[in-house]
Amino acid sequence: MTNTNDLKAKLLEEKARLEGELSGVGHRNPEIEGDWEPSAPDLNNPTADVNDVADSMEAFEESAAIEVELEARLLEVDAALARIDAGTYGVCRICGEKIEGARLEANPSAPTCIAHREG
């Protein structure tokens, strides 16, 4: 049997890890709660040559892609934590049936049962 408290602890641990990784590639958007933005490189260095600027832009693009993936996962984790608080955790959002324990163990943020999983 799946213990919701154990899964909540896993979700909170993953949330902390994701926020730590996000802080390495971005920062919180002060205008939108819960939103993250990639950290932009400083392109105002008058001594930087074209190659340095290109390298900075390439690193920014990579960081932006990583930030998008991490933020998407963080949203999934936050949604699962909200379902725990609402008492709807472990119930498939499509069919309303109980989500299999093995599925929740593998992915504690899963919003659907195996039959309705995406991709």
| Nearest of 39, 45, 46 to residue 60 by alpha carbon | 39
At 36, give phi and psi (nearest 5°): -120, 155
pLDDT computed for residue 37 by the predictor:
79
Task: Convert the pLDDT of each residue in 85-101 to its tens digit.
Answer: 999 999 999 999 999 99
Task: Convert the pLDDT of each residue in 65-92 to its tens digit.
Answer: 899 999 999 999 999 999 999 999 999 9
User: Which pair of tokens denotes residue 30?
Assistant: 């002060």
At 6, give phi and psi (nearest 5°): -65, -40
Contact in structure between 90 and 114 (CB atoms under 8 Å)? no
Residue extents of the structural domains in the chain: 4-88
pLDDT computed for residue 102 by the predictor:
95
Query: Cα–Cα distance between 90 and 110 in angstroms, integer?
Result: 8
Contact in structure between 104 and 2 (CB atoms under 8 Å)? yes
Amino acid at 63: S
pLDDT computed for residue 83 by the predictor:
98
Task: Convert the pLDDT of each residue in 7-63 to its tens digit.
Answer: 999 999 999 999 999 998 887 887 888 788 777 676 677 776 778 778 877 887 888
Give me the helix-helix angle, 4-25 and 50-86, nearest 10°: 160
